[in-house]
Amino acid sequence: MARPQLDIRSLLAHVPLFRQVAEPQLSELARGCRELRPKRGEMIFQRGDPANGFYIVAHGQIKLAFPSAHGGEKVVEIIGAGQSFGEAVMFMEKPYPVFAQALVDSLLLHVAKGALFQAMDSDPGLARKMLAGLSLRLHSLIHDMETYCSLSGTQRVVGYLLQHECLGQPHAAVELPASKQVIASRLNLTPETFSRILHHLSEAGLIRVEGRRITIPDVDALRRHQGGS
């Protein structure tokens, strides 16, 4: 608790959303911030809670999901460092439609609604950035929807792998950012089906699975599976 003020200011200045916010507003925002250090598995908020601000992930990983039938859950999104969540509900008079849970020990900043509104009023550029951020979120939701509706399970998995592939290496590789259960839910599959699909792709020689590390010997061959099968 030595100099939390300084910490927060420099963190804020490095978040993409606030990258271009200048001095008077930045301090204002920093003053409206609160640190959170949720442990792995800890809930940040529950579905139905009211919102009076939004969250920025300094480091760690947060899962957004809603409870589904039989005590299960559907993962809507996995939020990583530098990203934010909860902006949308802040602008409405509605409670959170999802719950947020830390996947690993994390460091979050909570930005109070009031401080943000004040900063937005004196900086039109910030409002535009928030609009762009929400738009992006909306786009990716529509993309997910498209994916769920018109693609088979295998195609969704292949799409996910190609989207998350780390380029530049001789053999392209993907390091799954969370447990297979979580990824499966994100792809709207049961863990069993996800496992089977990875197995099939593996058998076909299109990928190689070692725990959470998946290597892709021939990216183009895998890509050819998107349209077909």
List residues near DNA by CB under 7 A: 69-70, 152-154, 179-181, 188-196, 198-199, 209, 211-212
Interface characters, 19-38, with a second copy (x: CB under 8 A) = --------------------
Dihedral through CA 3, CA 5, CA 6, CA 9, nearest 10?
160
Q: Position 6: which residue type? A: L
- Which of 142, 166, 204, 221 touches a second copy by CB under 8 A? 142
Smaller CB separation from DNA, 73 or 87: 73
Smaller CB separation from DNA, 7 or 105: 105
Structure tokens given for 113: 């609604």
Smaller CB separation from DNA, 51 or 157: 157
**Residue 91 touches which member of DNA, a second copy, none, C-beta under 5-8 Å by kind:** a second copy
- Which of 20, 66, 166, 171 touches a second copy by CB under 8 A? 66
Interacting positions 159-188 with a second copy (CB under 8 A):
188
Is residue 75 exposed (0-12), middle (13-18) or buried (19+ Cβ within 10 Å)? buried
- Contact between 94 and a second copy by CB under 8 A: the answer reads yes
Q: Are 38 and 79 in contact (CB under 8 A)?
A: no
Helix, strand, or coil here: 172? strand
DSSP annotation string for 176-201: -SS-HHHHHHHTT--HHHHHHHHHHH
Structure tokens given for 47: 């579905």
- Which of 110, 137, 164, 223 touches a second copy by CB under 8 A? 137
**Residue 154 touches which member of a second copy, DNA, none, C-beta under 5-8 Å by kind:** DNA
Q: Position 64: which residue type? A: L
